[in-house]
Amino acid sequence: MSKQTYNVCFCFRRRFKLPVSEAPPEIRSLFERYSDENGVMTATNLRSFLVEVQREERTTEEEAQDIIDGHKHLSIFHRKGLNLESFFNYLFGNNNPPLSPSLGVYQDMSLPLSHYYIYTGHNSYLTGNQLSSDCSDAPIINALQKGVRVIELDIWPNASKDNVDVLHGRTLTSPVALIKCLRSIKQYAFVASEYPVVITLEDHLTPDLQAKVAEMVTQTFGDMLFCPSSESLNEFPSPESLKRRIIISTKPPKEYLEAKEVQDKENKSRKEKPADDEAWGKEVPSLRGGTISDYKQNSGDEDDLDDKDDTDEAERSQQNAAAEYRRLIAIHAGKPKGGLNECLKVDPDKVRRLSLSELQLEKAAVTHGKEIVRFTQRNILRVYPKGSRITSTNYNPLIGWMHGAQMVAFNMQGYGRSLWLMHGMFKANGGCGYVKKPDFLLRTGPNNEVFDPKATLPVKTTLRVTIYMGEGWFQDFKHTHFDQFSPPDFYTRVGIAGVPFDTGMMKTKSIEDNWLPSWNEVFDFPLAVPELALLRVEVHEYDMSEKDDFGGQTCLPVWELRSGVRAVPLYSKKGVKYNNVKLLMRFEFI
């Protein structure tokens, strides 16, 4: 066993043994239960383990033998089966992840777009903060490569008023040419997923520049562009029917949205509350109590729903818009005059998109929760961050998802716990960027009733999570990264993000001075709505004198978790997978 030396002062050193990764007690017990008297797990034994513990009922003995054959180099004296070391290495290896890599896109993709959560970006062109960062096609490319399906572009006249730029208006952000963004979208749109990409345009153009945009879009995308045969749709088409297509969504255009510009400017002038400077970012605002109570004091940040710039846009602005531009709009957006009741009216003859800020949704959820659910059964609801999030932070996406909102728009260029939830949600359904909404959000009862987000629901199932151990930090981090004077003291936080009843976090004890922490702790999470539950896992290093250090995180959709003992890879704050850091965990539904 090798040793590691830390300098404590000029003349004093501390030496620590570097432990070797060994199977924890429960893994030893499982091996003994499923191996023969010679301490060998044969293909027959391994198949029994895979069926009974891992819940892989369809596993064949031939597949079990393939696993054994892949680990023969670790078990040269037991070529007919696995010994304890090779069994442990199989469980803790890269071929035993918590989500099935072979599952792929398995959900029904033939339903209208309104039946899916869609991976949605906000101000997708910004490289950093909302006030002074550069505008570029680079964050658009990065988002598309991660599977994001909705890209937002704010389009403005350039300095000479003869072309179109993308920038965050009335701020110090430097512009990028619209044509550059469009060409990058075309190149990278379907790298991560074949399902459609929606471009939402915030339009601040004159009719002649709208005509120029129409020409750019048409020439850039050609046959990829989806143009509806009529100006309004009775029902949205399906993701399956729109594979490898580009869709344009915007409000019916006006010459200039002066009122909007003033409102934007006012929002940007407000200072965002300083975020918690812990290494892993601010905690996700709780939904307990029914809505985002953490934001109540900020309710003045947004105007009411009947803002001047949103009144009957569909009726008042069409005559000013270039006809070529209007024909491109497949998903019409806008807020009708008359406040919340008018906004949420469902038209049986046409569908549309409604946009609400996170705070407008917060208010609406208090008084019109079921009406929002009913609206989103046919129409699309987009939720976007409040204007004072100048550092590109995000909000809790669950308040949108539990009300059926399809486009919960996030600042993808940032990082933090809220964004980790977004990453976790869209790991589901093969990472294609579309996740079918739970059936209860799409159903209408015999008396026209719909799901009530405020209702107290019974527990459907309990997720039992066992955290055995972790490894990989010694390989992926400098040896003094966590502590200058000793090995790290790791602990794990684990919990659920979901509807208010399901939400909560727990933590393990800290394991002192160990690069290979072994916790062996069990946590139970009763779930009323497992269809919307995301498993949160975070590892931190305890620091007595300073804030704890970040050691990795992941977020996983509970409805796709594989039962049994699994190797769970961890990710950086920015969502990049570590090379070696992972946890050995067990998942059981009881």
Contact 419, 397 (CB under 8 A): no
Please name every residue paired with 122 in a beta bridge, in sequence order, or none if there are none: none
The full DSSP string for 41-73 is: EEHHHHHHHHHHTS--TT--HHHHHHHHHTTGG
Q: What is the dihedral of CA 143, 391, 122, 553, to 10 degrees?
A: 50
What is the token pair recorded at 321?
């818009």
Smallest Cα–Cα separation from 360: which of 346, 381, 337, 345? 381
- Three-state DSSP state, 481: coil
Catalytic site residue 122?
A: yes
Contact 399, 287 (CB under 8 A): yes
Burial of 408 (0-12, 13-18, 19+ CB in 10 A): buried
List Cβ neighbours of 447 (8 Å cut-off, separation of 6 or more): none
- Three-state DSSP state, 564: strand
The full DSSP string for 355-384 is: EEEHHHHHHHHHHHHHHHHHHHHHSEEEEE
Pick the catalytic residue from 78, 122, 368, 423. 122
Contact 447, 118 (CB under 8 A): no
- Three-state DSSP state, 208: helix
Query: Running DSSP on this structure, what letter comes out for residue 210?
Result: H
Residue for token digits 């009913």? Answer: 374
Pick the catalytic residue from 78, 168, 332, 403. 168
Q: How many whole angstroms separate alpha carbon 499 and alpha carbon 497?
A: 7
Catalogue the active-site residues. 122, 168
